[in-house]
A and B are shown apart, each in its own frame.
Chain A
Amino acid sequence: MLIFVIIPAYNEAGSIGNVIKDIRESVKDFMLRGDRAGVVVVDDGSTDETSRVAKEAGAIVLCHCVNRGQGASLATATKYCLLNNADIIIHFDADGQHDATDIPILVRTLLDGQYDIILGSRFLGRALNIPLFKLITLKIAILFTRLFSGISTTDTHNGIRALTKHAASVIQLTQDRMAHASEIIDEIKRNNLKFKEVGVTIRYTSYASQKGQSIFNAFSIVCDLIGSKIQKILNSKF
Chain B
Amino acid sequence: MLTPIQLILVIITILIIARTIFKWKKKELDTVNLVLWLFFWFCVIVAVLYPPVTTVVANFLGVGRGADAVIYFAFALLFYLIFRVSIRLYKIERDITKIVSRISLGEKRKDE
Contact = CB atoms under 8 A, between A and B. Distances in A.
A234 B100 CA distance: 24
Interface on chain A toward B: helix, strand, loop, or mixed SS?
A: mixed
B97 A68 contact: yes
Interface stretch (A24-32, A57-65, A108-116, A121-129): A57-65
B96 A76 contact: no
Nearest to A69: B97
Contact of A65 (B86, B90, B94, B103): B103
Contacts, number: 47
Contacts of A216: none
A79 B87 contact: no
Chain A contact residues (Cβ within 8 angstroms of B): what range?
20 to 34
Given A62-B108, A80-B108, A238-B87, A68 B100 contact: yes
A65 B100 contact: yes
Given A235-B90, A238-B87, A63 B107 contact: yes
A79 B101 CA distance: 9
Interface string A37-52: 0000010000000000
A168 to B, nearest CB: 15
A176 B93 contact: yes
B39 to A, nearest CB: 23
A80 B105 contact: yes
Contact of B104 (A64, A83, A234): A64
Interface of A: 42, 60, 62-66, 68-69, 72, 75-76, 79-80, 83, 174, 176, 231, 234-235, 238
Interface of B: 83, 86-87, 90, 93-94, 96-97, 100-101, 103-105, 107-108
5 contacts: A65-B103, A68-B97, A80-B108, A83-B105, A174-B94
Given A64-B100, A72-B101, A76-B105, 20 more contacts: A60-B108, A62-B105, A62-B107, A64-B104, A65-B103, A68-B96, A68-B100, A69-B97, A76-B100, A76-B101, A80-B105, A80-B108, A174-B94, A176-B93, A176-B94, A231-B90, A234-B86, A234-B90, A235-B90, A238-B87
